[in-house]
Amino acid sequence: MASALINVPERAKRGEVVEIKTLVSHVMETGYRRTQLGAPIPRDIVRRFVCTYNGTEVFRAELHPAIAANPFIAFSTVAVESGTLTFQWTGDNGFSVTESARITVE
Amino acid sequence: MNRREFLRATGGFAAGIGALIAVEPASATPAAMQDAIRQVVGSARVSAGRVKLDLPPLSENGNAVPLTVSVESAMTQADHVKAIHVFNEKNPQPDVVSFHLGPRAGRATVSTRIRLADTQTVVAIAELSDGSFWSARAAVVVTLAACLEDA
């Protein structure tokens, strides 16, 4: 069910800085909330986000409960060569989503 | 026991209770944030400047507050931003997020959306490749608090 949205330009000039926007569908339950009966709701968050460019890690983030639901992360990278950008989100309760995008560098 | 000794003894007791309470705060405090920052920067000095922290000064909904951090840096192999850490004062936990980047980022700008449980100050700290730390802070007024409401 979990799904991710990524926005990477399809084409870029060599050496250009491209902006990458990512969004993954996740509740990001903080672990600090309680049900109306007072039972604590266990934490369930995305802990880690990694972006690799043709196998090399270019960006990584460690998330905490203070990140809003459906974590949105925007960052940038230098378009060095054509290839694949892979995005991976991992979190509590075995959460893991992987997405990838092609980029053509001219 | 005279009055002075009595006051000294009970005063010490009250201070002890205060210390016990301080160990487990209901929410992160400015002191808890300082501790969290110390854990990341160690004994290094954190200077103000070079970092720009963009947050709306007034946020109606603390469940998703847009945040952008940019750092003045050439982002070359010799001089780049290694990491950007964000902290808050009054959420249940002082850490918000840590971004790790390098020369291949090209530009030291990152955005995300965060939760804020109260009107408070948010701090961003950038760790540069030369080992220096730079910071910026921003105050946000939050009308609807995040994190603590019932499900």
Residue A65, domain CATH = 2.60.40.10
Chain A residue numbers with beta carbons less than 8 Å from the beta carbon of B98 are 61-62
Pick from A37-46, B1-10, B37-46, B71-80: least confident: B1-10
Flag whether the pTM goes above 0.90: no
B80 membership: H or E segment, kind and range: none
Residue A104 and residue A31 in contact, taking contact as beta carbons nearer than 8 Å: no
Compute the distance between CA of residue B46 and CA of residue B97 in angstroms, rounded to an integer. Answer: 18
Compute the distance between CA of residue B80 and CA of residue A86 in angstroms, rounded to an integer. Answer: 23
- Token digits of residue B94: 């002082």
Compute the distance between CA of residue B78 and CA of residue A76 in angstroms, rounded to an integer. Answer: 19
* ipTM of this complex prediction, to 2 decimal places: 0.90
Task: Write out the residue range of the structural domain in which residue A80 sits.
Answer: 4-105
What's the number of domains chain A is made of?
A: 1
- Token digits of residue B60: 């109606």
Task: Give the strand order in the sheet containing A72-78.
Answer: A4-7, A17-24, A72-78, B109-114, B65-71, B51-54
pLDDT above 80 (res B38): yes
Closest CA–CA distance from residue A65 to any residue of chain B (Å): 7
Look at residue B68 and tell me if it is in a domain: yes
Look at residue B99 and tell me if it is in a domain: yes
- Owner of token pair 């309470």: B21
Chain B residue numbers with beta carbons less than 8 Å from the beta carbon of A65 are 91-93, 115, 147
Q: Average pLDDT, whole number, for chain A?
A: 92
A65–B93 C-beta distance less than 8 A: yes
pLDDT of residue B34: 86
- Token digits of residue B28: 């992160």
Q: Average pLDDT, whole number, for chain B?
A: 83
pLDDT of residue B14: 53
Mean pLDDT of A51-71: 94
A66–B116 C-beta distance less than 8 A: yes
Classify residue A21 as left (phi > 0), alpha (psi -120 to 50) or beta.
Answer: beta
pLDDT of residue B46: 87
pLDDT of residue B41: 85
Residue A97 and residue A2 in contact, taking contact as beta carbons nearer than 8 Å: yes
Task: Write out the residue range of the structural domain in which residue B50 sits.
Answer: 30-142
Look at residue B79 and tell me if it is in a domain: yes
CA–centroid distance for B141 within its chain? 16
pLDDT of residue B32: 85
pLDDT above 90 (res A19): yes
Mean pLDDT of B92-105: 92
- Count Cβ–Cβ pairs < 8 Å, chain A vs chain B: 107
Mean pLDDT of B72-93: 91
B114–A67 C-beta distance less than 8 A: yes
Look at residue B1 and tell me if it is in a domain: no
CATH of residue B122's domain is 2.60.40.2470
Look at residue B83 and tell me if it is in a domain: yes
Mean pLDDT of A37-50: 93
Closest CA–CA distance from residue B71 to any residue of chain A (Å): 12
Compute the distance between CA of residue B46 and CA of residue B28 in angstroms, rounded to an integer. Answer: 20
Classify residue A83 as left (phi > 0), alpha (psi -120 to 50) or beta.
Answer: left
Mean pLDDT of A66-77: 94
Q: Identify any residues that bridge with B97 across adjacent strands, giving them in sequence order.
A: A63, B86
Q: B-side interface with A, Cβ within 8 Å?
A: 63-65, 88, 91-93, 95-102, 104-107, 109-116, 146-151
CA–centroid distance for B43 within its chain? 16
What's the number of domains chain B is made of?
A: 1
- Convert the pLDDT of each residue in B55-79 to its tens digit: 999 988 889 999 999 999 888 988 9
pLDDT above 50 (res B149): yes
Look at residue B126 and tell me if it is in a domain: yes
- Token digits of residue A23: 């969004």
- Convert the pLDDT of each residue in B11-20 to its tens digit: 655 554 444 4
Residue A60's Cβ-side half-sphere holds a number of Cα atoms within 13 Å equal to 10
A73–B112 C-beta distance less than 8 A: yes
B52 membership: H or E segment, kind and range: strand B51-54
Q: Identify any residues that bridge with A59 across adjacent strands, giving them in sequence order.
A: A51
Look at residue B132 and tell me if it is in a domain: yes
Mean pLDDT of A55-84: 94
pLDDT above 90 (res A50): yes
pLDDT of residue B6: 66
pLDDT of residue B2: 74
